[in-house]
Amino acid sequence: MGLLDRFIKKKKSEVKAEPRPKKVEKTEKELATERGEPWVSILSMEVDYNNIQNGAFELDWNDKFVANLVRAGYQMDPKDTDSDIVDRWFTAVCRNVVLETYEQYKAMDPERDRLVRTRNIGDGFSEVS
């Protein structure tokens, strides 16, 4: 090994590698926004354990999602904020969940099946429902 080779090896060992900058991963919201897609997510949910019926959701969304809600009729006033519009939509979603659950409950109500109604329709005939 020549003098030049020793010098090059020594210099290589003295050179400290610079740390590479960490690659910052984009969030789902950022990716959807870049693709021009609507995006909404529940960030957190809080429950009042002293009154279990009370709670709150924290939502996040992008502008495309709000624009779709506006086109769907969720903006009632030109002064509505994005939060007003998203809250109106979320309330409608929750209402639909409750109504669907209620309809399923009523459809499976055992008392409904036990009730037999009879109505005399004349000439010795009865209608049973």
Q: Which residues are within 8 A (CB) of 89 and not within 5 positions of it... i.e. 6 or more apart?
A: 69, 72, 74
State residue 124's pLDDT score. Answer: 82
State residue 121's pLDDT score. Answer: 86
Q: Which two tokens stand for residue 65?
A: 């999602």
Would you write out the chain's pLDDT as a tens digit for each of its 129 residues?
Answer: 565 565 566 555 555 667 788 888 999 999 999 999 999 999 999 999 999 999 999 999 999 999 999 999 999 999 999 999 999 999 999 999 999 988 888 778 766 656 778 888 888 888 887
Chain centroid, CA 56 distance in Å: 14
